[in-house]
């Protein structure tokens, strides 16, 4: 693995690793680590650093939905135009063009189910190119961005072993 | 008649690890760096294969030597990875853990009065195994100054020339030492000159970080005098499935199998199915685990360096073996548990040359390692 790949892998695992921790793990010195991270940021490879939140443990819990969108395109409007319009809404947390039965997979977040429903019906459905929306409320998260939401601390190994 | 231990058993003291295990068990908030097994789960493909075999009810005994398919896979793995060429029909024995293979070799080839030179510090089971077989252990201490590698000088000065068997383990538990092919040459030469059998425990072979693993059996004239032990516990995180194997010339395997066929009959069948799949399709997972261990190793070694604790650059297995900041490693390890709730194992339980050191396992999540190293740092102030 190159230094870049290694640092990227480590930051994906835990974006809060300090420069010193990254240096210790990779065997690079702190300046080298910082240089690599700066490059990754300025090239737009790293687009941000966010916490992976288990919303079920937060009061009040956030409501999230996976929304399938179907669109019809006309000569003037492409997928990118629709995407740009949708991505502007702060409720939209994720938006992807996908292959298969529908066109866009959209992730929406809100304070309540009614707020999310209202957003879909008042802001998304009226977009003229959108022909159909199917909303799936997220009931339970088991894994987000590679992180499993089990309680984690189930190390049942003997504390001393040969 | 009473249940009085036989002389062989009575002559073997309880394991030094046992005492620390008991101390550690008194607390429920311990961060343990005392663990000699992976913190990963076996690759899913291997687990699936085990489950599928159970669903099909494949739980009967296998051939004494192990499933033919597994022996074939082991043969091609050993060849592909280490250049060890063994015939799956006659030169491979599948055992219940590498532990069984080690025990079989001792019992198969030792007579009372025989001497077994054991390179130390080392895994805790060798000396008792030799004693259970009625033979005597000769300590061959290795030194921190040699990065705990086995040298010709160590063999000579400990009198190993008169021994019958040499037991060695690289990458090593507890030191994390490895040996390159070049460094193995004088050891092989010594074994040939003094006509020693060599029992080489290579169970950590997939966890060698700085250079490719080299097996002593691949050196000239060594194949015919060596038994290689390996298994699935470490590389594939399959400790509880109890599966290992021995590689040796036909007459050696035949003799070991004579004991195995009466005592174990065959290694666990479910585990053999898992192992076939592990060898077939789990290279990526092994590499990923190795990468993680390597990062943790770098982390731990550099933390010790920053603390001013001497630790040679351990290059294999998942142990660091730093010098103990106190003279008495038992006392230090005990105080560290009581004060800071961090468990490490004192080096003296691993035999001659281990005193004055600590075994620190990094088969633990980086978050816990970080916390544990912080606590050690504040403990030594
Ligand atoms: C050097 C060494 N050999 C053998 C074993 C035991 O392996 P197995 O689980 O295959 O019996 C261990 C386990 O800690 C070990 O460290």
CATH of the domain at A75: 3.30.70.920
pLDDT in tens, A107-127: 999 999 999 999 999 999 999
> Which tokens sit at B7?
């002389």
A24 and A89 housed in the same domain: no
Judged against a pLDDT cut of 80, whether residue B243 lies above it is answered with yes
Residue B14: per-residue pLDDT? 87
Looking at A31-35, B21-25, B275-279, B341-345, which range is the least confident one?
B21-25
For residue B362 the two structure tokens come to 């990094």
Report the CATH number that the domain containing residue A38 is assigned in CATH. Answer: 1.10.10
Average pLDDT of every residue of chain B: 97
Say whether both A34 and A95 belong to one domain: no
Does A129 share its domain with A77? Answer: yes
* Domain definitions of chain B by residue range: 14-42+282-376, 44-281
Provide the shortest C-alpha distance from residue A45 to chain B (in Å).
22
Check whether domain B44-281 has CATH 3.40.640.10, yes or no: yes
Q: Is residue A128 part of a domain?
A: yes
Secondary structure (3-state) at B205: coil
* pLDDT band with cut points at 50, 70 and 90 for residue A152: low
* Ligand 1 lined by B123 (C-beta under 6 Å): yes
Band of residue B331 on the pLDDT scale cut at 50, 70, 90: very high
For a mutational test of ligand 1's pocket, the pick from B205, B213, B234, B349, i.e. the residue with the most ligand atoms closer than 8 A to its C-beta, is: B234
B169 lines ligand 1 (CB under 6 A): yes
Angle at A162 between CA B302 and CA B255, to 5 degrees: 125
The pLDDT tens digits for B17-58 are: 888 899 999 998 999 999 999 999 999 999 999 999 999 999
Residue A150 lies inside a defined structural domain of this protein: no
Residue A61 has pLDDT above 90, yes or no: no
Provide the domain limits for residue A130.
Answer: 57-139
A38-49 mean pLDDT = 97
In order of A35, B35, B285, the CA distances from B230 in angstroms are: 42, 19, 18
pLDDT at position B274 is: 98
Query: Which of B379, B366, B305 is CA-nearest to residue B339?
Result: B379
Q: What is the mean pLDDT of residues B282-289?
A: 97
Average pLDDT value for residue range B229-242: 98
| Number of domains making up chain A | 2
Within a domain: residue A89?
Answer: yes
Tell me: the pLDDT tens digits for B60-111?
Answer: 999 999 999 999 999 999 999 999 999 999 999 999 999 999 999 999 999 9
- State the smallest CA–CA distance between residue A15 and chain B in angstroms: 13
Which one, of A20, A153, A37, A6, lies nearest residue B294 by Cα? A6
Q: Are strands A147-148 and A143-144 parallel, antiparallel or unpaired?
A: antiparallel
User: What pLDDT score was predicted for residue B267?
Assistant: 98
Percent of chain B with pLDDT over 90: 97
How many whole angstroms from B125 Cα to the centroid of ligand 1?
Answer: 9
Asked whether the predicted pLDDT for residue A155 surpasses 90, the reply is no
**Above 90 in pLDDT, residue A156?**
no
When pLDDT is cut at 50, 70 and 90, the band that residue B15 belongs to is: confident
Q: Which pLDDT does position B335 carry in this prediction?
A: 97
CATH architecture classification, B14-42+282-376? Alpha-Beta Complex (3.90)
A151 pLDDT above the threshold of 90 = no
For residue A153, pLDDT beyond 70: no
Query: In the structure, what pLDDT confidence band is assigned to residue B202 with cuts at 50, 70 and 90?
Result: very high
Q: What is the mean pLDDT of residues B287-313?
A: 97
What is the DSSP-derived secondary structure letter of residue B235? Answer: T
Q: Cβ distance B37 to B233 under 8 Å? A: yes
Contacts of B51 (CB under 8 A, 6+ apart): none
Q: How far apart are the C-alpha atoms of B381 and B379, rounded to whole Å? A: 5
pLDDT digits (tens, 9 = 90+) for A67-88: 999 999 988 899 999 999 999 9
Q: For residue A114, tell me if it sits in a domain.
A: yes
Q: Do A160 and B32 touch (CB under 8 A)?
A: yes
Q: What is the pLDDT of residue A1?
A: 80
Q: Which residue has the higher pLDDT, B213 or B21?
A: B213
Average pLDDT, chain A: 94
Q: Is the C-beta atom of B369 inside 6 A of ligand 1?
A: no
Let me know whether A64 and A32 are in one domain: no
Burial of B186 (C-beta count, 10 Å sphere; 0-12/13-18/19+): middle
Ligand 1 atom closest to Cα of B96? 11
Q: Using pLDDT thresholds of 50, 70 and 90, give the confidence band for residue A150.
A: confident
N-to-C CA span, chain B: 57
Share of chain B above pLDDT 70, in %: 100
């Amino acid at each position: 693995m190159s230094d870049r790949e290694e640092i990227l892998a480590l930051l994906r695992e835990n974006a809060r690793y300090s420069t010193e921790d990254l240096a210790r793990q990779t065997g690079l010195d702190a300046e080298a680590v910082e240089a690599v991270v700066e490059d990754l940021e300025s090239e737009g490879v790293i687009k941000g650093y966010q916490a992976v939140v288990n919303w079920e443990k937060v009061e009040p819990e956030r409501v999230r939905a996976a929304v399938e969108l179907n669109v019809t395109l006309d000569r003037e409007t492409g997928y990118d135009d629709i995407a740009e319009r949708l991505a502007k809404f702060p409720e939209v947390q994720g938006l992807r063009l996908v292959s298969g039965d529908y066109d866009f997979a959209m992730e929406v977040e809100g304070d309540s189910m009614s707020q999310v429903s209202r957003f879909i019906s008042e802001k998304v459905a009226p977009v003229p190119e959108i022909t159909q929306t199917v909303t799936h409320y997220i009931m339970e998260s088991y894994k987000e961005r590679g992180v499993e939401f089990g309680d984690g601390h189930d190390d049942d190994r003997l504390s001393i072993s040969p | 008649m009473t249940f009085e231990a036989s002389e062989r058993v009575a002559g073997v003291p309880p394991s030094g690890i046992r005492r620390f295990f008991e101390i550690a068990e008194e607390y429920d908030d311990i961060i343990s760096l005392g663990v000699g097994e992976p913190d990963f789960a076996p690759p899913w493909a291997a687990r699936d294969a085990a489950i599928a075999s159970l669903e099909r009810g494949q739980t009967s005994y296998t051939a004494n030597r192990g499933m033919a398919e597994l022996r074939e896979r082991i043969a091609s793995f050993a060849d592909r990875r280490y250049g060890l060429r063994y015939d799956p029909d006659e030169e491979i024995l599948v055992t219940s853990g590498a532990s069984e293979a080690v025990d079989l070799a001792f019992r198969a080839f030792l007579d009372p009065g025989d001497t077994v030179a054991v390179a130390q510090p080392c895994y805790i089971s060798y000396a008792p195994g030799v004693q259970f077989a009625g033979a005597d252990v000769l300590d061959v201490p290795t030194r921190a100054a040699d990065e705990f590698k086995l040298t010709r000088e160590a063999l000579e000065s400990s009198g190993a020339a008169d021994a019958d068997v040499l037991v060695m383990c690289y990458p090593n538990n507890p030191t994390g030492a490895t040996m390159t092919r070049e460094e193995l040459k004088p050891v092989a030469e010594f074994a040939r000159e003094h006509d020693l059998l060599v029992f080489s425990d290579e169970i950590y072979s997939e966890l060698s970080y700085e250079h490719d693993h080299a097996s002593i059996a691949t050196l000239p004239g060594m194949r015919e005098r060596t038994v290689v032990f390996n298994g699935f516990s470490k590389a594939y995180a399959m400790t509880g499935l109890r599966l290992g194997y021995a590689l040796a010339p036909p007459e050696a395997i035949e003799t070991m199998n004579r004991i195995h066929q009466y005592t174990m009959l065959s290694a666990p069948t479910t585990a053999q199915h898992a192992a076939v799949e592990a060898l077939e399709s789990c290279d990526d997972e092994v590499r990923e685990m190795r990468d993680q261990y390597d990062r943790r190793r770098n982390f731990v070694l550099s933390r010790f360096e920053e603390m001013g604790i001497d630790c040679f650059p351990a290059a294999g297995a998942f142990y660091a073996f730093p010098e103990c900041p106190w003279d008495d490693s038992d006392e230090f390890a005990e105080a560290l548990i009581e004060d800071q709730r961090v468990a490490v194992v004192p080096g003296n339980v691993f035999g001659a040359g281990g005193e004055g050191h600590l075994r620190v396992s990094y088969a633990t999540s980086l978050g816990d390692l970080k916390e544990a190293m912080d606590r050690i740092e504040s403990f030594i102030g």
